[in-house]
Amino acid sequence: MLKGNFEVLKKYDDETAELGYHICTTMGYRPVSMVEYMRRAYTHPQFNTRITLDNELRYTNTNFDLFTTEEPNYTTVTDLTETILEVKYEKYLFPYVQDVLKKCNLKKCPISKFGSSRALLNKFYN
């Protein structure tokens, strides 16, 4: 895939793989950034509730080899003390979760891990 060969995606009987193949082959998409972060995830089956805490968000635009033993040259996106909290649910969020979130000093902001890496890249190259 790094060399533009997306045929491997055809081996999977999966809607996401099909969509990825279609997008990459018809729209000219290619790998441009690799994003890495530490994640702690908590789930509850009722209402498909998932709470994730992500930190140490970083990216590289020079080395996309996931399996290298060499540490890629990452650029840090978030401060080491920052944590990205995501709360996802269907239809209803448990009241006790709502209560806990109300008591936290949170800054609401839409964030895209990949988008953050691209915004920083655009700043450097434009």
Average pLDDT, the chain: 87
Mean pLDDT across the stretch 31-46? 92
Residues 37/113, Cβ–Cβ less than 8 Å: yes
Lowest mean pLDDT among 14-23, 50-59, 105-114: 105-114
pLDDT over threshold 70, residue 121 = no
Domain extents in the chain: 1-31, 32-125
Strands (E), the chain: 34-44, 49-60, 75-76, 84-88
Give the pLDDT confidence of 71-118 residue by residue, as tens digits.
Answer: 888 888 888 888 999 999 999 999 999 999 999 988 887 777 777 777
Which sign, positive or negative, has the C-alpha torsion 107, 110, 113, 115?
A: negative
Residue 66 predicted with pLDDT over 90: no
**Residues shown for the chain:** 126
What share of the chain has pLDDT > 70, as a percent?
Answer: 93
pLDDT of residue 126: 46
CB-neighbour burial class of residue 56 (10 A; exposed 0-12, middle 13-18, buried 19+): middle
Is 84 in contact with 49 (CB distance < 8 Å)? no
d(CA 57, CA 47) in angstroms, rounded, equals: 28
Output phi, psi for 125, to 5 deg: -110, 0
- Its pTM stands at 0.72
